[in-house]
Amino acid sequence: MAGIVGTLLRDRNIAQSFHDRMLKRLSHRGSPTTMMSENPQCVALITQFSRRRRRKGCKDRQDTTLAVDSGGIVLDGEDTSMISESVAQSDVSSLQAIAAAGVVREGVRVIRSTDGTRPVYYAPLEQGFAFAPERKAIWALPTAFVRPVEPGEAVTFLWNGSSRSQEQHGRTRPPIDNEASEAELILMLQKELEESFSRLESTKKCAVLFSGGVDSALAALLTSKSCGNTVLITAATGAAKDSRVAESGAKLLGLEHHLVHLNPDSVWKAIPEVIYAIESTNRMDVEIAIPFFLAAGEARKKKCRIVVSGQGPDELFAGYAKHERILAERGPDALRGKLWEELSVTHETNIARDERAIASQKLTGFFPYLHRGFVQASLRVPTEMLIRLEGRMKRKLIFRRLAKKMGLPTRLCSRRKAATQYSSGSAKVLLQSIRANVEEAKRVTKKKAEPLVQDVLDFIGNEIGVPTQYGFIGEFNLDLGPTTRLLKRIN
């Protein structure tokens, strides 16, 4: 639960009305505290969400000019002062997992740290601007244009209703370190990763999205060292690989483990909620988000506050099969280019989806592998330490050795894992749920039902106001119960 929301408009009443519309769509992000700043030309309303509920009679702040989304991590006075200075100077170079908005002399400035794990979007309005951590909040306003504040970007909305040129402080691509030994590089990676997980030390209870693969297993181990009460949660079908390997992996780690069973009924009920949460009807995104959404729901029942994700190592250390193909067919330079390209967009293609799925369950996502120092250290690793074309273990070589050095059992370090939608069984059970609840899919073979999946997702998305994958919306006779319940809640 975290986020920052704001409106900057000339008319105070319209600003308040628009702001209230956005807050209604973001009620799952926590308790809002709003500040107001006025200028002869404009009024600015800025809200910061937090976990703590306001006491009765507590008024919104009028004496503060800074709102911060720190991803649920507790900040001290020194941290807040540094963020305030970063907003004033339009400099995000020292920030980690932060989005912030503050009133400056020229207007309102919004910044986002280079890791990109705290989302912010904005849109121009007639005579002003609005910003929010989710696009759906801005979709409630009269605007046709929504774009993200990019990682490392500072955007200033001026009191006259226009925006100033944007300043970029994005990721830099360091040179590959061909002089350091593998042991030296592992020590560097270890230091940065330990610093990343140390941010959890003030958190009482954490959940880890756990598949049993090396990424989530190392995340589980390191989370348990920083957060004393750590639970592992897996969402998968009973027959899925994740169900088996996660259970055995949790036993090796000696950590509490909970399995959320995916079945056609639970998935059908979740589909509209997932589409609305992640703001997409794309089939692959929905398949990936379903287990994350349901696992986060279980974490909420267990009274966790932060959900730790293992996203990142595949892009940093060449973890996909396609990386082998690129290396074999086009060489190491092409592979390095592809890894950089994937890292440069992962904040929007992967992290934003996962963060929203978790946030919809009133929890906060934490992405430790995208810690700025860890990312920069990983980019220095030579290609031959990342991936090879021979042997049983071909991908994420140095990462697996790092995991072993940090104490992960060898069996977990060497586990290979398929993509989430296949290892969890969510792709298969999504199709089963559609065949069970859509009349047109019931009457055809499994093969012929496959192409209907995207069409049905688009149909449901259109019903709840989420942009569809394709412009054409077919007609289906289906069980709209879950969709109707969602619409009653959000409208």
Among 82-86, 131-135, 283-287, the minimum mean pLDDT is found in 82-86
* Fold annotation for 182-423: Rossmann fold (3.40.50)
Query: Which runs of E-coded beta strand occur in 159-316?
Result: 167-168, 205-209, 229-236, 256-261, 306-308
- pLDDT of 210-232, one tens digit each? 999 999 999 999 999 999 899 99
- H or E segment to which residue 110 belongs: strand 107-112
More confident residue, 2 or 363: 363
Give the count of alpha carbons within 13 A of 323, CB side only: 25
Comparing C-alpha atoms, which of 18, 15, 442, 425 is closest to residue 246? 425
- pLDDT of 446-482, one tens digit each? 999 999 999 999 999 999 999 998 877 888 999 999 9
C-alpha dist (Å) from residue 62 to 43, 59, 283, 345, 474: 13, 9, 44, 37, 50
User: 59-72: string of b/e by CB count within 10 Å (b at 16+)?
Assistant: eebeeebbbbbbbb
- pLDDT of 380-432, one tens digit each? 999 999 999 988 789 999 999 999 999 999 999 998 888 899 999 999 999 99
- Please answer whether residues 246 and 236 qualify as being in contact, where contact means their C-beta atoms are separated by less than 8 angstroms: yes
Q: 488 burial class (0-12, 13-18, 19+ CB within 10 angstroms)?
A: exposed
147-148/364-366 β-pairing:
unpaired
Looking at residue 133, what DSSP letter applies? S
Q: CA-CA distance, 286 to 272, in Å (whole number)? A: 10
- pLDDT of 35-80, one tens digit each? 999 989 999 999 999 865 443 333 344 435 799 999 878 777 778 8
- pLDDT of 427-447, one tens digit each? 999 999 999 999 999 999 999
DSSP characters over 414-453: T-----HHHHSSHHHHHHHHHHHHBHHHHTS-HHHHTTHH
Q: CA-CA distance, 345 to 355, in Å (whole number)? A: 15
Q: CA-CA distance, 120 to 475, in Å (whole number)? A: 35
The residue extents of the domains of the chain are 3-168, 182-423
Residue 165 pLDDT class (50, 70, 90 cuts): low
- Please answer whether residues 354 and 365 qualify as being in contact, where contact means their C-beta atoms are separated by less than 8 angstroms: yes
* One CATH from 3.90.1150.10, 3.10.20.30, 3.60.20.10, 3.20.20.70 for 3-168: 3.60.20.10
Does residue 278 carry a pLDDT above 90?
A: yes
Q: CA-CA distance, 205 to 20, in Å (whole number)? A: 32
Q: CA-CA distance, 12 to 36, in Å (whole number)? A: 10
Torsional class of 212: left (φ above 0), alpha (ψ -120 to 50), beta (otherwise): left
Q: With H, G, I as helix, E, B as strand and everything else as coil, classify residue 32.
A: strand
Q: Residue 169, Cβ neighbours under 10 Å: how many?
A: 20
User: Rg of the chain over CA atoms, in angstroms?
Assistant: 23
- pLDDT of 107-134, one tens digit each? 999 999 999 999 999 999 998 999 999 9
- Please answer whether residues 127 and 8 qualify as being in contact, where contact means their C-beta atoms are separated by less than 8 angstroms: no
Give the CA dihedral 440, 444, 449, 453, nearest 10 degrees.
Answer: 10
What strands lie across the sheet with 121-125, from one edge to the other? 31-38, 43-50, 3-9, 128-132, 121-125, 147-148
